């Protein structure tokens, strides 16, 4: 019922009920689940999109500002009726109607997140605030890809989720690790204050096809260097450790977390732990036995050890990684060879 007072008199007019949306009769598939993936043009995001798109009941919307991601990672989905790509920066509000949000948008490689640290903090804090506001408005469940960097340079090894971390609040990595810590805080405050359904994954070093060739992270650096016949740059002392998870295992963990009942935080990573010298030796052995290994200067606040305790992921998600480093490296080598145009001799 609408009120019409154009002639000075109060008069009521009746409007017929709205017609069903013409979209209901469109030739396009009507999705059961509309899923937003922020940062979906990046490395992990694009593999996640591939998996989500395999389910015909999903409609996927990607938002990305293409800082480190690329349309190329999503080329097989462009023009697909269940897929939509939006150039958007998550530090700005976003209005879409979705059921689930995988919030990945954030540069992840230290060289990129340190490039514009203020922007990195804004992405982590304002970006997460915006996505939580969206989740609240539309009643969507939201998953944040947090990081093992919330443990800083850990004094407990391996790291369980209960460990509160050893983080430098004013260092050059703080824009990322403190930014993610605030993002986790915001997730829990929205959960407690507004009842938002949240999921938090603490991701440990993940590698695989589609990482940028010049990403700057250690696995992509070593593979690109080995293929180009350049020395592998091991940052000193070389005894620092990381635990490397193959991307298909990571995506499987994220999907289980989103579909499960636990808010997290849950560590998702591969507990196989390697020193950077061991990683260099493995890449050399598998990809180019002739390549040299050079020791170079490190950057400040580099964590000395990192290994996930995945007991919670096993118990709560029934998840554990399947792909070993030795099996995963050749898959990434193949992808790098095809992108660099270097065939196997
Ligand atoms: N790969 C890892 O080892 C790892 C480890 C821990 C956590 N993570 C987290 O997983 C997520 C994805 O990491 P990745 O390795 O795929 O990195 P990536 O750099 O390949 O992907 C990040 C994506 O976010 C986009 N992005 C960045 N800032 C944005 C903004 N303000 N607005 C919109 N889009 C923006 C980038 O363009 C890119 O497509 C990140 O949140 C990262 O912190 C990754
Ligand atoms: O998994 C995580 O939680 C975090 O891990 C990484 O951060 P980092 O472990 O520092 O990643 P790399 O830049 O790949 O460095 C790993 C180790 O390799 C060493 N490194 C790096 C590059 C190189 O050429 N040589 C080399 O020895 C570094 O000194 C460091 O000790 C990611 O970049 C973060 O996004 C992520 O959140």
Which of 105, 112, 149 gets mutated to test ligand 2 (max ligand atoms within 8 A of its CB)? Answer: 149
For residue 16, pLDDT over 90 is answered with: no
Residue 151 or residue 7, greater confidence: 151
> Could you confirm whether 151 is annotated as catalytic?
no
Dist CA 105 CA 126 (whole Å): 11
For residue 170, pLDDT over 80 is answered with: yes
Average pLDDT over every residue of 57-68: 96
pLDDT at 49: 98
Are 46 and 75 contacting, i.e. CB atoms less than 8 angstroms apart? no
Dist CA 171 CA 341 (whole Å): 39
pLDDT per residue over 190-222, tens digit each? Answer: 999 999 999 999 999 999 999 999 999 999 999
Q: pLDDT-based confidence at 1, cuts 50/70/90?
A: very low
Query: Which pairing describes strands 33-38 and 100-103: parallel, antiparallel, or unpaired?
Result: parallel
Which of 107, 210, 219 gets mutated to test ligand 1 (max ligand atoms within 8 A of its CB)? Answer: 107
Nearest ligand atom owner, CA of 43: 1
| Domain membership flag for residue 194 | yes
Locate tokens 């995945």: which residue?
A: 310
| Domain membership flag for residue 11 | no
pLDDT at 65: 98
Nearest ligand atom owner, CA of 280: 2
DSSP string, 288-309: -TT--EEEE---TT--S---B-
Which of 37, 44, 101 gets mutated to test ligand 1 (max ligand atoms within 8 A of its CB)? Answer: 44
For residue 2, pLDDT over 60 is answered with: no
Task: Give me the CATH number covering residue 103.
Answer: 3.40.50.720
Instruction: Determine the distance separating the centroid of ligand 2 and the alpha carbon of 217, expressed in angstroms.
Output: 5
Average pLDDT over every residue of 2-28: 50
* Helix and strand element counts for the chain (H, E): 9, 15
Instruction: List the Cα angle 90/95/99 in 5-degree steps.
Output: 95
Out of 176, 190, 207, 246, pick the active-site residue: 176
Average pLDDT over every residue of 4-27: 51
| Domain membership flag for residue 67 | yes
Provide the domain limits for residue 320. Answer: 30-340
Ligand 2 binding pocket, CB closer than 6 Å: 108-110, 147-149, 203-205, 217-218, 221, 233-235, 240, 242, 276, 298, 302
- Which atom of ligand 2 sits closest to the CA of residue 205? 1
| Domain membership flag for residue 201 | yes
Question: What is the DSSP-derived secondary structure letter of residue 22?
Answer: G
Write down the mean pLDDT value for the chain: 92
Average pLDDT over every residue of 53-57: 95
Q: Can you read off the two tokens belonging to residue 339?
A: 């992108």
3-state secondary structure (DSSP) of residue 177? helix
| Domain membership flag for residue 14 | no
pLDDT at 219: 97
Q: How many CB atoms lie within 10 A of CB 143?
A: 26
Locate tokens 């430098």: which residue?
A: 168
Q: pLDDT-based confidence at 9, cuts 50/70/90?
A: very low
| Domain membership flag for residue 143 | yes
Candidate from 3-17, 112-126, 149-163 with smallest mean pLDDT: 3-17
pLDDT per residue over 176-190, tens digit each? Answer: 999 999 999 999 999
- Which atom of ligand 1 sits closest to the CA of residue 103? 41
pLDDT at 345: 74
Query: Which pairing describes strands 11-13 and 2-4: parallel, antiparallel, or unpaired?
Result: antiparallel
pLDDT at 32: 82
| Domain membership flag for residue 180 | yes
Q: How many domains does the chain have?
A: 1
Compute CA distances 342 → 191, 266, 281, 282, 288, whole Å. Answer: 49, 39, 21, 20, 13
**Residue 213, class by beta-carbon neighbours within 10 Å (0-12 exposed, 13-18 middle, 19+ buried)?**
middle
Average pLDDT over every residue of 298-306: 92
Share of the chain above pLDDT 90, in %: 89
Q: Within a 13 Å sphere around the CA of 156, how many CA atoms are in the beta-carbon half?
A: 14
Q: Which among 4, 93, 89, 105 is positioned nearest to 45, based on CA atoms?
A: 105
pTM: 0.92
For residue 283, pLDDT over 60 is answered with: yes
| Domain membership flag for residue 5 | no
Locate tokens 């996927």: which residue?
A: 60
Cβ within 8 Å of residue 208, ≥6 positions away: 43, 47, 246, 247, 248, 328, 331, 332, 335
Dist CA 100 CA 105 (whole Å): 15
Instruction: Determine the distance separating the centroid of ligand 1 and the alpha carbon of 105, expressed in angstroms.
Output: 5
């Amino acid at each position: 019922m609408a009120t019409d007072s154009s002639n000075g008199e109060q008069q009521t007019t009746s409007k017929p009920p709205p017609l069903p949306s013409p979209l209901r009769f469109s030739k396009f598939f009507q999705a059961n689940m509309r899923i937003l993936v922020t940062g979906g043009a990046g490395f992990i995001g694009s593999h996640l999109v591939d998996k989500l798109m395999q389910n015909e009941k999903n409609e996927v919307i990607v938002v990305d500002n293409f800082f480190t991601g690329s349309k190329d990672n999503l080329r097989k989905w462009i023009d697909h009726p269940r897929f939509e790509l939006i150039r958007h920066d998550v530090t700005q509000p976003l209005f879409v109607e979705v059921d689930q949000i995988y919030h990945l948008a954030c540069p992840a490689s230290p060289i990129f997140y340190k490039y514009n640290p203020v922007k990195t903090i804004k992405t982590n804090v304002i970006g997460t605030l915006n996505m939580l506001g969206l989740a609240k408005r539309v009643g969507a469940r939201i998953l944040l890809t947090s990081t093992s960097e919330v443990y800083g340079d850990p004094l407990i090894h391996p790291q369980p989720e209960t460990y509160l971390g050893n983080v430098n609040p004013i260092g050059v990595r703080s824009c990322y690790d403190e930014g993610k810590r605030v993002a986790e805080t915001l997730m829990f405050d929205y959960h407690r204050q507004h009842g938002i359904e949240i999921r938090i994954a603490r991701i440990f070093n993940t590698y695989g096809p589609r990482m940028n060739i010049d990403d700057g992270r250690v696995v992509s650096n070593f593979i690109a260097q080995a293929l180009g016949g350049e020395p592998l740059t091991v940052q000193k002392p070389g005894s620092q450790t990381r635990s490397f998870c193959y991307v298909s295992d990571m995506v499987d963990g994220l999907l289980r977390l989103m579909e499960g009942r636990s808010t997290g935080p849950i560590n998702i990573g591969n507990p196989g732990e390697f020193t950077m010298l061991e990683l260099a030796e493995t890449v050399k052995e598998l990809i180019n036995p002739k390549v040299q290994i050079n020791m170079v200067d490190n950057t400040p606040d580099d964590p000395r050890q990192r290994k996930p305790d995945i007991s919670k992921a096993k118990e709560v998600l029934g998840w554990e990684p399947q792909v070993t480093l030795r099996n995963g490296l050749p898959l990434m080598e193949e992808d790098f060879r095809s992108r660099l145009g270097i065939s196997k001799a």
